[in-house]
Structure 1
Amino acid sequence: MKAIIACCLLLVVTSQAADWAKVKPVYRSRHTLRHAVRSKIIGGDFATPGQFPYQVGLFLDGSGFCGGSLIKDDVILTAAHCAQGTRTFEAHLGAQNIYDETEANRLIVTSTTGVVHENYQASSINNDIAIVKLPAPVAGNGVGVVRLPAGIQVGETFNGVSARVSGWGRTSDSVSGISPELKFVDVTVIDNSVCRASYGNIITDTKICVDTLGGTAGTCNGDSGGPLVVQEVDGIYTEIGIVSFGSSAGCESGYPAAFTRVSEYLPWLETNAGVTIRP
């Protein structure tokens, strides 16, 4: 079984895993990064302003970084390994260059309320889901809520479906910090049995995996907690996964990337986030 990396520090379990949430920015001063040279993501493209209104950047206690998604005007969805032990979440909404706080549509909100799934297990990265509650509802140009799966989609595998993941995570195994610019990449959902061949029984029904095309497309450190979405027949994007982990061999190793399967947690989200799930 391949060792695994939680997409957001080092955890020692049955196999070695690293907590990707603690990846630090390239520079300690955010303002100097406005002039940073753009680097390329592991596949994919630069997002255009407003393309992902639900995308959130989360600075964790001023040092770590994760992604997230706005699922209600006062609730952010992210990964448990991002929120566990975190005291302060600085949420950036409507952001393009995560370090340019002068952007016209940028909203910056600080929260101290993170709710981690009560059955989260770091050793197996099970139930890797959490929410961040904002002190007040947010709204504005370039800021919007992503749709959650409907009740009828519980049990749907999404195998073979093209999905899109976005974030500011590391752009290659050789760089040390997150990308200043928001990026996205299109990937294909694979059967859990294929993913299990790489990671073993850690791949349960509560996880969903994608093909990384030999390591040329996918997520990396700093993308943790971010959204994996599919565009449905009505043209609206639905979040089906939360960036969770990948192979300790590296982001470009070619092994699948794993996500928390959102449709398995709809009752939990109804109770804890106060969202209404479609039938």
Structure 2
Amino acid sequence: MKVFLVFALAVASVSAGLLPLDTPMHPRDIEAAPSINGRITNGKNAAENQFPYQVGLSFTGSSGSWWCGGSIIASSWVLTAAHCTKDSSSVKIYYGSTVRTSPKLTHTVSSSNFQQHANFDSATLNNDISLIKTPSVAFSASINRIALPAIASSYSTYSGQTAVASGWGRTSDTTTSVAKNLQYADLTVIANSVCQQSYGSKVVRSGVICVSSVNEVSTCKGDSGGPLALDSKLIGVTSFVSSKGCERNAPAGFTRVTSYLDWIKSNSGVSA
């Protein structure tokens, strides 16, 4: 597992007229130890088959192993974050799990099946999105796709609306326990201009969508790459949280799916 990513964005943000108050980091990098820890901080237990599009992703690479989430967008495609696929040689995909260790199905695929965004920038976190080509899976009540927003000339910012994030990310900033059940949290989307006050305009660009964190409810380690859904459509891919911790009530950042619909279609053929 990689060490903390600390981003020196202050100078660049001053030149852009915006001084960030915080620094972002990928949930995957919160701890140096390669382990699967807990759940979404202060989230709720998911019911059986509540999130059939959610998959667990156990990556292996030269630096060790790490856990991420992902979303089924077609019978043979999973969408996740580029910081999850980066430096990985293979991934084991867990389908249909509510109890994390009891998937209905697993597939292991090599990195040759990854379509990582060519312009992913681990310094600014931009273009944090990847596709994984998988063996075809049969859809059921526990394994199913989530729809993408339709390609259009303009899109909602979703600001003020409530979306749901899910995953097996860790339970708090101090816990080392493993969550048995899939977790979820209802989170309010905020304007990018508000999120920029925390992380600056170099990080929070048009391809990012942010949610507020209140009462210490947020995404955390193990949630990376997982879904943010609204009205049964995928609108975000878990990308970053505050380097100060998941329970600091700082905004959480996601890759904005509507900014990458053309990229997804051209690399996988999948659209709404």
Shared fold per TM-score greater than 0.5: yes
Is contact 2:42–2:172 with CA below 8 Å preserved after alignment? no
The answer on whether the counterparts of 1:163 and 1:230 sit within 8 Å (CA) in structure 2 is yes
Give the secondary-structure state (helix, strand or coil) at the position aligned to 2:152.
helix
CA drift of 1:156 comes to 1.4
2:13 is matched with which residue? none
Contact 2:59/2:92 (8 A) holds in 1: yes
Q: How many angstroms apart in 1 are the aligned matches of 2:154 and 2:123?
A: 26
Quote how far apart the aligned CAs of 1:63 are: 2.1
Indicate conservation of the 8 Å contact 1:56/1:93, yes or no: yes
Q: What is the number of equivalent residue pairs in this alignment?
A: 248
AA aligned opposite 1:181: N
Q: Any residues of structure 2 matched to 1:152-231 within 5 Å, and which?
A: 152=152, 154-176=154-176, 178-201=178-201, 202-214=203-215, 216-231=216-231
What is the CA deviation profile of residues 78-117 of structure 1, one whole-angstrom value per residue up to 9, with x for unaligned ones? Answer: 000001111111000100111235xxxx110111111110
1:111 match: secondary structure: strand
The answer to whether the 8 A contact 1:153-1:263 is kept is: no
> Which one-letter code corresponds to 1:198 in the other structure?
S
Q: Check conservation: 1:74, 1:138, Cα contact below 8 A.
A: no
Instruction: Show CA shifts across 1:19-77 (max 9, x none).
Output: 43365125xxxxxxxxxxxx774233100111100000000017200000000100000
In 2, the alpha carbon distance for the partners of 1:177 and 1:43 equals 14
Question: Structure 1 stretch 39-48 or stretch 10-19: which is displaced more?
Answer: 10-19
AA of the residue aligned to 1:56: V
Aligned residue number for residue 242 of structure 1: 237
Trace 1:1-279 onto structure 2 (pairs within 5 A): 9-14=3-8, 18-21=25-28, 23-25=34-36, 41-61=40-60, 63-101=65-103, 106-112=104-110, 113-152=113-152, 154-176=154-176, 178-201=178-201, 202-214=203-215, 216-231=216-231, 237-277=232-272
Deviates more, 1:138-147 or 1:160-169: 138-147
Answer yes or no: is the 8 Å Cα contact 1:9–1:20 preserved in 2: no
Aligned residues of 1:154 and 1:263 also touching (Cα < 8 A)? no
**Counterpart contact for 1:70–1:145, Cα < 8 Å:** yes
Distance 1:271 1:177, change over 3 A: farther
Is contact 2:39-2:167 (8 Å) kept? Answer: no
1:178 is displaced (CA, Å) by 4.5
Contact 1:50 1:142 (C-alpha < 8 Å) held by counterparts: yes
Matched AA of 1:155: Y
- Matches of 1:163 and 1:187, distance apart in 2: 5
* RMSD, aligned α-carbons: 2.0
> What is the CA–CA distance in structure 1 between the aligned matches of 2:129 and 2:158, rounded to whole Å?
19
Tell me how far apart the structure 1 counterparts of residues 48 and 270 of structure 2 sit (CA, whole Å): 27
Aligned-pair identity (%)? 39
Cα 1:221/1:154, change in 2 over 3 Å:
farther
Contact in 2 for aligned 1:169/1:223 (Cα 8 Å):
yes
After superposing the two structures, state which structure 1 stretch, 89-98 or 152-161, moved more: 152-161
Deviation of the 1:18 alpha carbon: 4.6
The alignment's TM-score, normalised by the length of structure 2, stands at: 0.85
After superposition, the C-alpha distances for 1:215-260 in whole angstroms (9 at most, x for unaligned) are: x2210011000000011xxxxx001000000101100001000000
CA 1:138–1:263 in structure 2 vs 1: closer, same or farther (change >3 Å)? same
